[in-house]
Structure 1
Amino acid sequence: MSPAPSSKIVAELKKRAQKLGFVQFGIASAKVPADWQTNLQNAIAKNWHGDMDWMAETFERRVSPNALWPEAKSAIVLAYNYTPDTNPMDMLGETDKGIISVYARNRDYHDIIKGKLKELAGMLSRQAACNVKVFVDTAPLMEKPLAQQAGIGWQGKHTVLVSKQEGCWLFLGTILTDAELSIDEVETDHCGSCTRCLDICPTNAFPEPYKLDARKCIAYLTNEFRGVIPVEFRKPIGNRIYGCDDCLAVCPWNKFAKTTADIKLQMREDLRAPDLVDLAKFDDVAFRTHFAGSPVKRLGRDAFLRNVLIALGNAKGHDVVGDIKAHLNEDNPIVRGAAVWALSQHVTSNEFVSCAQSAKKTETDETVMAEWQGDVK
C-alpha cells in the first residue's frame, strides 16, 4: 500500500479538478457495502438488464472496486456537468423532428473526460508516489453507488445520480488508487415523496422506486438494443430516436443546474431538431460522417434507421409515407420490419395490402412477415 497523501495534495488535486471543469469531487473507500452485490444480483436474476449480457458476465468484478483491482484502497469520484440549454421534452410535440438524448448531441463524453481524469491521476501519482487507474463508464465499476459513497449525490428513484447542487445532468469519472485517502461523508437520499420521474416514464420501466427494468426503458431500446423493438413500446417511443431524458428532465433538483460551460458538450445545431425524413435518407457512409465523434455512431446505421422509422410511424399528420416506403426492401430485416410497421400507421388497409404484395424481400422472412400480418392501426 502506498503512503497516505497529505491533505495538501488532495486540496491541490481538488483545485485542479475544478479548473478542468469538474463540478463535484468526492472520495470514497474502495471497500463498499455488501448490499451492492445483492441489489445487482436481484436485478440480473429478474433479467432487468435485457440483452446487456456483459452485466452478468462481469458480475464478480462489478460488485466491488476491490474485485476489479484488489490493491485499490480509495476511489476519487468526479462529476462533470452536461446540462442542456433547453428542456428536451419541449420537442415531444414536434413529431416530424427527431429527439436525440442530451448526452449524445455533440462530442462523445468519454473522449472529453478521460483525458482530464488522466491528468488528475498523473498529478496524484507523482505527488503521492501511488498507483492509479482511471475509469469513465467503460469498465465494470458501479459508479453511481460509488458516487453516493463519495458524497457527490444520491441515486434517485429513477436510478440516476442526483446532486443537491447540480441536479441530474452529470457524467461521472473515477480514479482508483492504492493510497488510503481520507473519505468524504456518504450522501443521503433527498427524493422525499416526489415521484415525478416514475410517473413521467412513457413505458412504465420502473417496477418500483430505485429499480429499473431496462427491457422497457426507451434509452435501452434505442441505444443498446439491436433487435426488433416490441410493438407495445413503439408508440410510446414517439419521436425519440436515440435515448430518452424524460425522467431526468422532470427532476425538481435540476432547478440548481447550470447550462454546461463546455462547448464540446453544448448541442450541435444540426442535432437540435433534425428532420426525420432527412435522417431516413442516410446510407452507412452518410450516417458515419454525420455522427463522427458522437456516441450515436456506436449504434450503427441500421439500428439508428430502425429508430427513425418508428418515429416516422408516429409522425401523424405529416407527409412521410414515401420516405417510409423507400425502406421496405432494405437488406436488414429489422429495418424492413420497422418500415412495415411505420407504414401501417399511415395508410389504409387496402393500401397496406397492396404494398405487401409488391414488396420484394418479405416472402421468406419471418420477422418482416410478422409485421405485414399485424393489425393496421
Structure 2
Amino acid sequence: MTLSAWEEPVLDSDNPDPGKLVAELKARAVALGFDSFGIAPADARPDLPEKLNAALASGWHADMEWMEETAERRGSPKGMWPEARSVIVLGINYGPETDPLAILEERSLGSISVYARNRDYHEIIKGKLKELAGLLARRSGAEVKVFVDTAPLMEKPLAEAAGLGWQGKHSVLVSRHFGSWLFLGAILTSAELPADAAHVESCGSCTRCLDVCPTNAFPGPFRLDARRCLAYLTVEHKGSIPVEFRAPMGNRIYGCDDCLAVCPWNKFASVSREAKLRARPELERPRLAELVQLEDAGFRTVFAGSPIKRIGHARFLRNVLIAVGNSADPSLVPLVEARLGSDDPIVRGAAVWALRRLAPERAEEVGLAYRARESNSSVLAEWTGEIA
C-alpha cells in the first residue's frame, strides 16, 4: 500500500494497542521517506521452501553458492529466527525520471542500472529501518531485527504477503503505485502485529518483461535463470562473460533494466515525493572512452558510495570492455590495446574480445606478440577465437 495519505497519529499512552502502534509506525515511516508499508505474519509463505528448492535443483542460482548454503534459513523467516512473529516490509520508490532503455541506442555510453545510479541502497535504507525498528522496540518491548538484502530473507514474496504488490513474471515486485521500482527492506519482530491482506498477482496475460529479455533468461513466467541474466552476469558473476551473452550485453556495464522498464504498471506510478532518490548525473550517461581508462584509484573515487564499487576494478573493466567491443567505434581501439597487458586475465580476455570485434586486422597484427607471453589458457583461447 502507498503511504501518501497517512498522517502522524496522536497517541494517548506510551504503550499503544496494536492498532495505534501500527498507525504510529506508518506515520514515522512516511517521515523517514518510505513510500510503502505492509505487515505479514512470519509464517505467511509456507510455499517458499518448495519453490526455492526447485529453483536450486534447476541450477538457476548459477554460482551463487550462498543461496544453496542458506537454503534452510532462506525458506522462512522463522527458519532464520524462530522467535519471529511478524514481518514489516517497507519500500522506497527509486523510479527513473526518463526511460532507462533509451541509452541502449547510444553505444558510446555505458548503461548503468537505475538502482546503482545513486548511493548504495543498502546504506540508504538501513539507517531508516533501524530508526523505525527502534521505535517499535521502545513502544512494544519486542525484539527486532533489520534486513536490507544482506541476509537470507526473501523480501519480495514477503512484500507480496504484506500487500505491497506482487511478484511479476520477471520475479521482481510490482506495485500498483510504483511499478517495478521499489527498494525493499524488512523488520522482523517478536511482536504479533495486525497483518495486511496479501496482494493478488495482477500481471494478467502480459508478457512484455519476458519478451524483452536480451538473453532469454526466463524459462517461463515467474521463473528466472540467473545463468542467462545480464543483471547477474555483470554484477555477481566473477569470471569472464560467456561468449553467447557478450553481443546481447550491448552497452550494459552494470545490471540490466529491460524487464523492469517495460512493465505497463510503471505508467501508473505515483508522482515522486521529495524523498525520492535522485540519480547522480555523472552515472546517467557515462562515456565508455572515459570509463575504460579508469585505473583502480580513479574507479574507487568515481564510484565511492555506489554499489558498483563492490564488484571491483577488474570486473568493472571486464564489463566496460565488452561494451566497447559492441560500440562499433574504431576510435576506441587504442584504449582497448592499452588493456591487453593488464595484470588481471579477466581484463586481458575482455580486451582481446573487444579488439577482435572492433579491429580484427589489428588484432592479428599484435596478437602474435601478446600470445607468445600469455600464460593464461582462457586468454589464449580469446586470441585464437576458440573460447567456449
With normalisation by structure 2, the TM-score equals 0.93
Tell me the residue number matched to 1:183: 195
Tell me the residue number matched to 2:345: 333
- Give the distance between the partners of 2:330 and 2:195, measured in 1 at CA: 56
Report if the CA contact (8 A) 1:101-1:245 is conserved.
yes
Tell me the residue number matched to 2:332: 320
User: Moved runs in structure 1, 4+ residues, more than 4 A?
Assistant: 258-264
Following superposition, the deviation at residue 140 of structure 1 comes to 0.3
Following superposition, the deviation at residue 34 of structure 1 comes to 2.7
Tell me the residue number matched to 2:56: 44
- Give the distance between the partners of 1:287 and 1:331, measured in 2 at CA: 16
Residues 256/318 of structure 1: CA separation in 2 closer, same or farther (3 Å cut): farther
Residues 339/197 of structure 1: CA separation in 2 closer, same or farther (3 Å cut): same
Report if the CA contact (8 A) 1:72-1:177 is conserved.
yes
Tell me the residue number matched to 1:114: 126
The 5 Å alignment of 1:146-157 reads 146-157=158-169
Residues 16/317 of structure 1: CA separation in 2 closer, same or farther (3 Å cut): same
For residue 354 of structure 1, the aligned residue among 336, 351, 365 is 365
- Give the distance between the partners of 2:356 and 2:76, measured in 1 at CA: 48
Report if the CA contact (8 A) 1:87-1:249 is conserved.
yes
- Tell me the alpha carbon deviations over residues 200-238 of structure 1, each in whole angstroms, 9 at most, x when there is no partner: 000000000000000100000001111011100000000
The 5 Å alignment of 1:127-166 reads 127-166=139-178
- Tell me the alpha carbon deviations over residues 49-70 of structure 1, each in whole angstroms, 9 at most, x when there is no partner: 1111100000011000001110
11-20 or 231-240, which moves further after superposition?
A: 11-20
Tell me the residue number matched to 1:7: 19
Tell me the residue number matched to 2:8: none
- Give the distance between the partners of 1:135 and 1:232, measured in 2 at CA: 36
Say whether residues 1:296 and 2:332 are aligned partners.
Answer: no
Following superposition, the deviation at residue 33 of structure 1 comes to 2.9
Following superposition, the deviation at residue 15 of structure 1 comes to 1.0
- Give the distance between the partners of 2:271 and 2:295, measured in 1 at CA: 34
Following superposition, the deviation at residue 375 of structure 1 comes to 7.1
| Secondary structure of residue in 1 paired with 2:375 | coil
Say whether residues 1:23 and 2:45 are aligned partners.
Answer: no
Following superposition, the deviation at residue 261 of structure 1 comes to 4.3
- Give the distance between the partners of 2:128 and 2:103, measured in 1 at CA: 33
Residues 223/17 of structure 1: CA separation in 2 closer, same or farther (3 Å cut): same
Q: Taking every aligned residue pair, what percent have the same amino acid on both sides?
A: 59
Give the aligned residue type for 2:165.
Answer: G
Say whether residues 1:365 and 2:343 are aligned partners.
Answer: no
- Tell me the alpha carbon deviations over residues 254-289 of structure 1, each in whole angstroms, 9 at most, x when there is no partner: 012246546783111111111101011111111011
Give the aligned residue type for 1:363.
Answer: E
Tell me the residue number matched to 1:222: 234
In the alignment of these two chains, the number of paired residues is 373
Following superposition, the deviation at residue 31 of structure 1 comes to 0.8
Residues 263/148 of structure 1: CA separation in 2 closer, same or farther (3 Å cut): closer
| Secondary structure of residue in 1 paired with 2:253 | strand
Give the aligned residue type for 1:47.
Answer: G
For residue 98 of structure 1, the aligned residue among 100, 110, 114 is 110
Following superposition, the deviation at residue 32 of structure 1 comes to 3.1
- Give the distance between the partners of 1:61 and 1:115, measured in 2 at CA: 24
Following superposition, the deviation at residue 351 of structure 1 comes to 2.5
Residues 153/189 of structure 1: CA separation in 2 closer, same or farther (3 Å cut): same
Report if the CA contact (8 A) 1:151-1:186 is conserved.
yes
With normalisation by structure 1, the TM-score equals 0.96
- Give the distance between the partners of 1:108 and 1:33, measured in 2 at CA: 29
